[in-house]
Amino acid sequence: MKTGMILDRRSVIAGAAALPAAAWPASARADNAPLRPQGLDAAHFGVHAGAPDDQTKTLQRAIDQAAQRRAPLWLGPGVYHAAGLNLPAGAQITGVRGATRLLLTRPASLMVSTRSDAITLADLTLDGGKIPLPENAGLLHLENGRDLRVADCAVHQAGGTGIMCRSMQGQVTGTTVTDAADTAMFSMDGINMLFAGNVIRGSGNGGIRIWQSQKRTDGAIVVDNQIHDTRADAGGSGQNGNAINVYRAGKVIVRGNQIGKAAFSAVRGNSASQIEVVANNCADIGEVALYAEFEFENAVFSGNTVDGAAFGIAVTNFKEGGRLATVQGNILRNITRERPDGTDPNDGYGIGIGVEADTAVTGNVIENASRIGIAVGNGVYMRDCTVTGNTVRGAPYGITVSVTKGAGGAVVSHNLISGARRGAVVGADGQKIVAADLALVAPGAYPQLTVSANQVR
């Protein structure tokens, strides 16, 4: 039988008493604020939940002292009135999810950080009370920082943008933004930002915006968010009303988002090169559901579902340099709406997929497009497009392809076209149908086209 040291309660207490003060946790030392499991208790600094007066100064003192000690600051449940709180480097503020609420008291951002790294906000509710914010400001406003973490927070009733990030690197996850007067989440000149698992409802002009002030790499990932009821209160022809808008930002991935009821687009890429739009589920979209427009190269639209829109997928503006895309494996249904007010009346609608240059359209299913299943080219703006292995059902024209003088070449083959009562594959000059059904006769007059092996029912 082995023998060993036997510890009883007295020996443990005696041994602990002999430890130096530094070995004790901060909560046991009289010269420090109590340390809760979540961090330093803000109440120690005189911050009181439910106090009717503005607590900005007291809260700021607590935030500054906790950041200096590199310790999290914990806010207990209740309401805290404040405005213009500055977040220094290393600030970590946490609360009780759904119960710790900071309420804005005047027309200013509720929290601001400038050139501060390693900011962490968790389990907080920021309520703007619909108080108008200064122009280009967010209720939570963050600039020129790295290693941002906003997790499991809620932002309500922002009188402008909910979360504004300028030249930031970091992530916003598990956060809910409701009733933002302008944009729910806005990244301007961001660096590899992650927006994941967020819920956005009732935005005035945009859900998530990923913008660059100049055309360049951004690297944002927008994944697994739920975005509903995006309006276009500021009007326009598409700059507002988009659930996800990528503008001038390159190498952005938009994947696995649930998007419903957007005034304009579910995902709109404007001058956004190397954008990937993958496996998004979109319904009740006012204009073009998925869009790559103006100066872009290398766009991927794959595995998306659209049910209800004026236009399913558009890859356009070859005139301005828009080119090089893959449109593969998407399902588009009920593309029957007219475009909303503010858009060019000459723009097409009732079209499942429209492409112009250097694009492969393959393996898609289009059902119930009110005008055209797949439109290839726009006047002279067509070059090197292939349309193969698609299924088009219930569109008056199955596939239209530009035969305008000066248009480039295209291949249309091995597609299944069902119920195209006006023509399965027809030639178009702009908006006008000018050629007979090319799926039934050899297109000898158009040597730039290959139309073959399509099944017509």
Asked if residue 406 is part of any domain, the answer here is: yes
CATH number at residue 414: 2.160.20.10
DSSP E strand boundaries for 308-393? 311-315, 323-328, 331-335, 351-355, 359-362, 365-369, 372-376, 385-388, 391-393
| The overall pTM is greater than 0.95 | no
Asked if residue 194 is part of any domain, the answer here is: yes
The total number of structural domains that make up the chain: 1
Digitized pLDDT (tens) for each residue of the chain, 457 residues in all: 434 433 343 333 334 333 333 333 333 333 455 555 568 999 999 999 999 999 999 999 999 999 999 999 999 999 999 999 999 999 999 999 999 999 999 999 999 999 999 999 999 999 999 999 999 999 999 999 999 999 999 999 999 999 999 999 999 999 999 999 999 999 999 999 999 999 999 999 999 999 999 999 999 999 999 999 999 999 999 999 999 999 999 999 999 999 999 999 999 999 999 999 999 999 999 999 999 999 999 999 999 999 999 999 999 999 999 999 999 999 999 999 988 887 777 788 999 999 999 999 999 999 999 999 999 999 999 999 999 999 999 999 999 999 999 999 999 999 999 999 999 999 999 989 998 888 777 667 899 999 999 999 9
Enumerate the H helices of 167-280 as residue ranges. Answer: none
Give pLDDT, residue 341: 80
In this structure, are residues 277 and 299 in contact, taking their beta carbons and an 8 Å threshold? yes
pLDDT tens digits, residue range 204-224? Answer: 999 999 999 999 999 999 999
In this structure, are residues 179 and 202 in contact, taking their beta carbons and an 8 Å threshold? yes
Integer Cα distance of 345 and 146 in angstroms = 44
Integer Cα distance of 232 and 181 in angstroms = 10
Query: Residue 4 is encoded by which pair of tokens?
Result: 């060993």
pLDDT tens digits, residue range 53-74? Answer: 999 999 999 999 999 999 999 9
Asked if residue 125 is part of any domain, the answer here is: yes
Q: Which domain holds residue 155?
A: 89-456
DSSP E strand boundaries for 231-338? 242-250, 253-255, 258-262, 267-270, 275-278, 281-285, 288-293, 297-302, 305-307, 311-315, 323-328, 331-335
Integer Cα distance of 246 and 227 in angstroms = 15
Asked if residue 258 is part of any domain, the answer here is: yes
Asked if residue 161 is part of any domain, the answer here is: yes
Asked if residue 7 is part of any domain, the answer here is: no
Q: Are strands 35-36 and 39-41 parallel, antiparallel or unpaired?
A: antiparallel
Rounded to the nearest 10 degrees, how much is the dihedral formed by the CA atoms of 397, 402, 405, 409? -140
Rounded to the nearest 10 degrees, how much is the dihedral formed by the CA atoms of 98, 104, 108, 113? -40
Give pLDDT, residue 195: 99
